[in-house]
A = this chain, B = another copy of it.
Amino acid sequence: MSAEIIDGKQIATEIRSKLAEEIISLSSHGVPGLAVVLIGNNPASEVYVRMKKKACSDIGVNSYEYSFGEDYGEENLLKLIDELNNDSKINGILVQLPLPRGYDEKKVIEAISPLKDVDGFHPENLGRIVIGDRDCFQPCTPYGCQIMIKRTVKNLKGKHVVIVGRSNIVGKPLANMLVQKNDMANCIVTVCHSASEDISKFTLQADILVAAAGSPGLIKADMVKPGAVVIDVGTNRVDDPENPGKCKLVGDVDFEAVKEVAAAISPVPGGVGPMTITMLLENTVKAFRLHNDI
């Protein structure tokens, strides 16, 4: 029996239409505004920025694009962020990463006011996640994973989540989110990674397995416990054998084989991807409420 497919696109569509309604209901207070800052001309970054702007426009968030060439300079960027921090029409600030060489990403991220850090990358927001303070912005990708997990497994209490990968934007924040004592979490959490000689010892125990290592096809069917829920966060571009010279997007999970073992699995594409941008929108609306005290 093949696994249930966790349709990230469908969940994202539902959440986005609720957000659109919410924005209408709040319109007497104004319109949420997101500043999208793009430095340089990385083609992937340009695609992401376009997708984010479109997602904003679809649900009624104003997006303000600030695009500059690579030579804009860190000093100017920090000045811009300072202006955006103090601009009342801007509720969220997103600086598209990676930044070109010569920019200190850490310094740039920390310049964003934690109250406008809708990407959830500022240390203050991450620290609030550690202590279980929900009055903060959760990073978009792990937040999207959490929503998908909660929709699939109603009662998370005591479930063993195994996360493969310890990145700052997925593995580590997600571990902190899922260990908290609340009904979106309350899990036993293991984080395993490349320092282990044999990660299958851990993955085989998972009630919920999150693959976030950035390694195409890392998770094989014999590494998954029958009946597990599998969330694939991998977004790896590999050569497409069916279209010589072209790339295709694949996850960290051997989807075709694992779906015969798992109870539920998220695909790539169409899984975590659409959820990430959706949580950015959700955070922007949250910031708007926060700034307007509603």
Contact = CB atoms under 8 A, between A and B. Distances in A.
Interface of A: 106, 122-133, 157-158, 166, 168, 172-173, 175-176, 179-181, 186-193, 195-197, 202
Contacts of A188: 190-193, 195-196, 202
A176 B180 CA distance: 14
B195 A181 contact: yes
B123 A176 contact: no
A42 to B, nearest CB: 22
Contacts of A128: 123, 127
Contacts of A127: 122-130
Closest 8 CB pairs of A and B: A123-B127, A126-B127, A127-B127, A190-B190, A158-B195, A126-B130, A131-B168, A188-B192
17 contacts: A106-B133, A123-B124, A123-B131, A124-B124, A126-B127, A127-B128, A130-B168, A130-B173, A158-B197, A175-B191, A179-B193, A181-B193, A181-B195, A187-B195, A188-B190, A188-B191, A188-B196
Nearest to A110: B124
Contacts of A189: 190-191
A129 B117 CA distance: 18
A240 B173 CA distance: 42
A190 B188 CA distance: 7
Most buried by B among A130, A157, A186: A130
A131 B132 CA distance: 17
Contacts of A191: 175, 179, 188-189
A187 B193 CA distance: 9
Contacts of A202: 188
A164 to B, nearest CB: 10
Contacts of A179: 166, 172, 175, 191, 193
Given A166-B181, A189-B190, A190-B190, A130 B176 contact: yes
A132 B173 CA distance: 12
A130 B172 contact: yes
Contacts of A168: 130-132
A173 to B, nearest CB: 7
Contacts of A197: 158
A179 B193 CA distance: 9
A116 to B, nearest CB: 16
Nearest to A106: B133
